[in-house]
C-alpha cells in the first residue's frame, strides 16, 4: 500500500489546515499512527512525551524508537504527577486531574518551542462518557484529529499495519495508576511493584494482561485464552512475581 493510502483524506485535510502541530506522544498505537500521519502529510510536527511514574519504561522505549524511525524530534517532559494531591488521592475523577497536569505541562513545553497547537491520539472508538480525562482535553483545547476525522481503533491498526509501524498490533495499555483501586492513595512504591510484576509476567510470554492491587496482593487479569496456561504455570508465576508480591491471585473473569 502506498503512503497516500495509509492516511485517509479527512486526516490529510486536517493537516493541510494545521501545518504545525505538537503531539502528546505516548508510544501507543494511536499516537504512533498520528505521528506517522502528520509526518507523511508534511506537517511540521514535534513529539512530546510526558515522563511520569504512571508510564512504564517500555512505553518510553517504544516512543523513542518510533520517533527515531520517523525522524521526528522527541521531547521528554518530566512530570511528578504524585505531587498533585487530586491525583495522588486517587478519586473517581483522578484521570481528569491527571490529564490537566500532564497536558498543562505539555502545552507549556510545546509553547516554549513555538508550537501553539497540541494534539493527542484519542480516536473515534473512545467513549467520551467513560473517560473523565477527555473533559480536560476539551478545556485545554487539545485537538484529537483521529476522533475529529471519525477514525476508529480498528482503522488505526489497519492503517498502521499498512504503513509498516511496529505498533500496529501493540496491545491497548492503560497507565499504571489504573492498577490501584479507586479511593486507595497511589504511591510510587506500589507503582514500581506493579510495573515490575507486569514486566516479569510479560517475560514469561503472557500478553494483554493487567496486574492489579488487591489488599496488598496481586490480582492477575488475563485473556480467557491464557487462563489454562496461567494455572498450569502457577508456581512459575508466583516465583517470578515474588520480588514484588507475596500473594498472587488469578481473576477468573476474562479480561
pLDDT tens readout for residues 76-126? 999 999 999 999 999 999 999 999 999 999 999 999 999 989 999 999 998
∠ CA 105-106-110, rounded to 5°: 120
How much of the chain is in helix, strand and coil states, percent to nearest 5? 50, 15, 35
Q: What is the pLDDT of residue 2?
A: 56
Q: What is the pLDDT of residue 172?
A: 83
Q: With a cut of 90, say whether residue 3 has pLDDT above it.
A: no
Last residue in a domain, options 163, 179, 210: 163
Domain region containing 97: 3-163
Q: What is the pLDDT of residue 129?
A: 56
Residue 217 lies in a domain: yes
Q: What is the pLDDT of residue 126?
A: 81
CA–CA separation, 173 and 24 (whole Å): 16
**Among 138, 116, 133, 109, CA closest to 49:** 109
Residue 230 lies in a domain: yes
Q: What is the pLDDT of residue 133?
A: 78
Residue 45 shares a structural domain with residue 128: yes
**pLDDT (tens digit per residue) in 180-237:** 999 999 999 999 999 999 999 999 999 999 999 999 999 999 999 999 999 999 999 9
CATH number at residue 76: 3.40.50.620
CA–CA separation, 88 and 188 (whole Å): 10
Residue 158 lies in a domain: yes
Q: In the numeric block, which cell numbers belong to residue 193?
A: 511493584
**What pTM, to 2 d.p., does this model score?**
0.91
Containing 211, the helix (H) or strand (E) segment is strand 210-214
**3-class SS of residue 46:** strand
Amino acid at each position: 500500500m502506498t503512503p497516500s493510502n495509509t492516511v485517509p483524506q479527512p486526516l490529510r485535510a486536517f493537516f493541510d489546515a494545521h501545518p504545525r502541530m505538537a503531539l502528546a506522544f505516548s508510544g501507543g498505537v494511536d499516537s504512533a499512527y498520528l505521528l506517522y500521519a502528520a509526518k507523511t502529510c508534511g506537517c511540521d510536527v514535534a513529539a512530546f512525551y510526558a515522563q511520569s511514574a504512571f508510564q512504564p519504561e517500555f512505553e518510553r522505549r517504544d516512543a523513542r524508537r518510533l520517533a527515531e524511525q520517523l525522524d521526528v524530534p522527541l521531547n521528554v517532559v518530566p512530570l511528578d504527577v504524585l505531587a498533585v494531591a487530586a491525583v495522588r488521592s486517587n478519586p473517581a475523577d483522578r484521570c481528569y486531574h491527571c490529564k490537566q497536569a500532564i497536558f498543562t505541562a505539555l502545552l507549556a513545553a510545546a509553547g516554549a518551542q513555538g508550537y501553539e497547537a497540541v494534539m493527542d491520539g484519542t480516536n473515534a472508538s473512545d467513549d467520551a462518557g467513560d473517560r473523565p480525562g477527555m473533559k480536560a482535553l476539551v478545556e485545554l483545547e487539545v485537538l484529537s484529529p483521529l476522533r475529529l476525522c471519525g477514525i476508529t481503533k480498528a482503522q488505526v491498526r489497519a492503517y498502521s499495519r499498512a504503513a509498516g509501524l511496529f505498533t500496529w498490533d501493540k496491545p491497548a495499555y492503560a497507565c499504571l495508576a489504573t492498577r490501584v483501586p479507586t479511593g486507595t492513595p497511589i504511591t510510587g512504591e506500589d507503582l514500581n511493584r506493579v510495573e515490575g510484576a507486569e514486566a516479569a509476567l510479560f517475560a514469561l510470554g503472557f500478553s494483554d494482561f493487567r496486574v492489579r492491587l488487591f489488599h496488598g496482593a496481586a490480582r492477575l487479569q488475563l485473556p480467557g485464552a491464557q487462563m489454562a496456561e496461567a494455572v498450569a504455570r502457577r508456581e512459575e508465576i508466583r516465583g517470578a512475581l515474588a520480588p514484588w508480591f507475596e500473594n498472587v491471585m488469578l481473576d477468573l473473569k476474562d479480561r
